[in-house]
Structure 1
Amino acid sequence: MRARSSPPAGRRPAADDVVQILFTSGTTGEPKGVMHTSNTLFSNVRGYIGRIGLGAADVLMMSSPMAHQTGFMYGLMAPILLGAKVVLQDIWQPEEAADLIEAEGVTFTMASTPFLSDLAEVGARRPASVRSLRMFLSAGAPIPRVLARRAAESLGATIISAWGMTENGATTTTRPDDPPEKAFETDGCPLPGVELRVVDAEASRCRPIRRAGCRSAAPAISSAICAGRNGSPRTPRAGSRPATSRAWMRTAMSASPAAPRTSSSAAARTFPSSRWRA
């Protein structure tokens, strides 16, 4: 079979074509297929690596499966965009993770809070094995205050907190230079190109969260909200693009402007600007 230097004519997807359908039940418990395009995926990944400060010299490690948005966007797409090395761990084993960090010189990883707890325990016993790690981004569950401090000490790394959804990717994060308490008190501030607001049950009152706590407002990158969700009667129809029409997407998450883990409900939108070119 002869390799082709480019896709056959007419088969190369355009930047706004759906290239990913990822099923999730999310907060609502209703199964739905979240549809993303190259534009929605890459616009989020670009804002993410810019916020965290990742570069080609970094070595990323991903222990989440590629069938999960965390693994796909930040374990597969981000290293490709950066031109950086990535280490994939197919089954989570904290001791093995420490071995990989030491052997490969891993500088950054992203995983849920239980992973952080596991690796912190290993780091306390084997500090040399995690010496290269400079940042651990934790998402999916709040980071207890005691764990955040213990992990920072035992890993010698900056702990970053984040919040996101399959529909949006990472939506808020703390910043590497934030005070440590930000990681266990908040989920940070919106990524470039994202706007959040907190509304009451009737959506009659809202408080915008533009970039509270951030030093400057970066320009919009592009739409990161999914192109549509298939299979749920209360979600956008297949092929709809709420983000590019500047529509708000209800997240069904609880939040407040001061600490996005408490009270009210949150809505999010992203701004269309520069586009990813396929």
Structure 2
Amino acid sequence: MSSSRFLFRNGTVLHSSDAAAPITTFLESHPGAYTTTRTHHTASCLLFWERHVNRLADSIRILSNSAPKLLFQSNNHRLSLPVTSPMWESAVRALVDDSMNEALPIAMNERRGGEELSVTVLVCGSSGRFNGFEYVDEELMREALDVYVSVGCYVPRAFDVRGNGARLAVVGQGRDVANAKYSDWVRLRKPLEKLRPPSVTELLLSNDGDHILEGCVTNFFVVCRKDNDEAKGTCLHDQNNTCAFEVQTAPIQDGVLPGIIRQIVMDLFISHSEFMSAKICPRSMFPSLQQEKFFEAFSNVHRSC
């Protein structure tokens, strides 16, 4: 399967030009909410799958209410669907589960021994399918939404190898509707990609050129020495100021994607800080390029397309 990619629509294999195109090209031409993950341990499980499905449902709900043009193929940009979060989650989960149950066995059958798989799920639809209905129930949503599943080979990057670290540059402002993950961002970021210096592997977003929001395709964190006088009481999990360092990442409410890895990193520092040789406290605040106590920065290497 090394050179192959499978594309499914509602569980059926597609053999159109969309199936042969790179996944980024497909996302550019299809509005919708999406998520990307991969398999682990010789394709025996999907990484953080429950979290991905939950965020996918959240993204669909957010886009349907605040930016339907990013979700539906429609000229009616004022469309809004008054549906509840449990309904979105239930309908999306059922649709995605049905599609994945059809797609993964086929991809696994073509997989070579030892290969891992990259999986992208896109949920979209046409707003015209809702015409004439005053109430949107789960059954109608399942008929109106399409689920695309793209499965290809994934080659994990080796850690602790010189040259595999991220090389960063600040190039543009934050995303609109940043708390949802939508495919149109793949198209919108292309002008930023043209500004990428040859040696840079990730582009950072900032509204003022100093305070970092996130990367174009990654979350962004900095580790800095903690100033107990300035930071006293700012970390809910370190009221006694016992941490020597703090890891900073921009708050979700200030315009970043609620990334899966972002939350896992924050949870990790909270739950395992007592086992670390130097205690590190997580803190939601804008990482600043101007701060003097900057110690280290890192970004996750697999967040999205």
* TM tier, smaller: under 0.3
Higher helix share: 2
User: Which structure is larger by alpha-carbon Rg, 1 or 2?
Assistant: 2
Normalising by structure 1, report the TM-score: 0.27
Normalising by structure 2, report the TM-score: 0.25
